[in-house]
């Protein structure tokens, strides 16, 4: 989902889509894209605005260069995250679906395993919760003594827990019917929190809690955009790795072969990104 107006980042996003902004050495969209790839999600729909459609098509193409299938759809009117299921109804078909907000970046910890666990569920919904210092700025999920979710509140003044709901969600196919039944909120949007509450009321909502070794960044403000870039730069430099690199992810997972990786590396041969890809083939880069 990349169709938002990015108002929290104005004037940066007056003429540039938020998910096209750089997070250190890669476009922001690369990070959620590779997160899906690592969970073996290979059919991906990018939902964006009509204004930004062409630039996404130019950057991402059809995904075949990474061994995945990328389609595109336009959100004509900014009417909420849950609108993704109405826009993507034909794309989703009868399958279950993962929704990932384009400004959410995850790294390390148990996020990869948690998403894979969710994908094993054939029914219901799974949200991914993360402990935060100021939960009043997020959707907050609370639990009973047995650890079962009992409530979800959007930006509550008095949060019932420290656990924020991140921008990563997994749903069975029934989510399309739920989205169709929603009424716009006071701000005129179809709210993803209302989708999650619908599953909660049916006692069909699971929660995967991301542990303290997981990094979750919502790069939607100027400060968090800078923090994300600094984190990526520091981690990559210290460990000699790349985070959010679709070429490497595709190659390590066997989506593409050595020849395809060489083609990608030669495309960026004059900078450190291409040189890193070549080092992968030489065996000198680590996981």
**How confident is the model at residue 287, as a pLDDT?**
39
The DSSP symbol for 20 reads G
Q: Which CATH superfamily is domain 7-119+167-205+213-240 in?
A: Spore Coat Polysaccharide Biosynthesis Protein SpsA; Chain A (3.90.550.10)
Q: Is the pTM of this model over 0.85?
A: yes
Output the pLDDT for position 286. Answer: 46
What's residue 156's pLDDT?
93
- Give the C-alpha distances (Å, rounded to integers) separating 79 from 22, 29, 83, 150, 187: 26, 21, 7, 27, 9
Token digits for 61? Answer: 């193409």
Q: Where are the alpha helices (DSSP H) in the chain?
A: 30-38, 53-60, 83-87, 89-92, 111-119, 175-181, 192-201, 222-239, 246-252, 258-267, 272-282
Q: At what angle do helices 30-38 and 111-119 cross, to 10 degrees?
A: 60
Domain ranges of the chain: 7-119+167-205+213-240
Q: Directed axis angle between helix 258-267 and helix 272-282, to 10°?
A: 160
Which residue stretches of the chain have pLDDT < 70?
Answer: 284-287
């Amino acid at each position: 989902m990349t169709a938002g107006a990015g108002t929290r980042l104005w004037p940066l996003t007056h003429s540039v889509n938020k998910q096209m902004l750089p997070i250190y050495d890669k476009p922001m969209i690369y990070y959620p894209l590779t997160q899906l790839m690592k969970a073996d999600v290979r059919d991906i729909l990018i939902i964006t605005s009509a204004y930004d459609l062409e630039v996404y098509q130019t950057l991402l193409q059809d995904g075949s260069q990474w061994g995945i299938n990328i389609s595109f759809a336009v959100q004509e009117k900014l009417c909420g995250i849950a609108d993704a299921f109405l826009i993507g109804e034909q794309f989703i078909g009868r399958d279950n679906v993962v929704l990932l907000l384009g400004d959410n970046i995850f790294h390390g910890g148990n996020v990869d395993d948690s998403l894979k666990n969710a994908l094993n569920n054939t029914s219901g919904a799974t949200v991914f919760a993360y402990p935060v210092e100021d939960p009043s700025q997020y959707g907050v999920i609370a639990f009973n003594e047995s650890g079962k979710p009992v409530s979800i509140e959007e930006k509550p003044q008095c949060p019932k827990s420290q656990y924020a709901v991140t921008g990563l969600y997994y749903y069975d196919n029934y989510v399309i019917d739920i989205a169709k039944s929603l009424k716009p909120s006071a701000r005129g949007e179809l709210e993803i929190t209302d989708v999650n509450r619908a599953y909660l009321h049916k006692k069909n909502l699971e929660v995967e809690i991301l542990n303290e070794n997981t990094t979750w960044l919502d790069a939607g403000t100027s400060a968090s955009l800078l923090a994300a870039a600094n984190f990526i730069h520091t981690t990559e430099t210290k460990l000699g790795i790349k985070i959010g690199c679709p070429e490497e992810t595709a190659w390590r997972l066997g989506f593409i072969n050595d020849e395809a990786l060489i083609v990608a590396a030669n495309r960026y041969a004059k900078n450190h990104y291409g040189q890193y890809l070549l080092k992968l083939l030489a065996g000198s880069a680590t996981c």
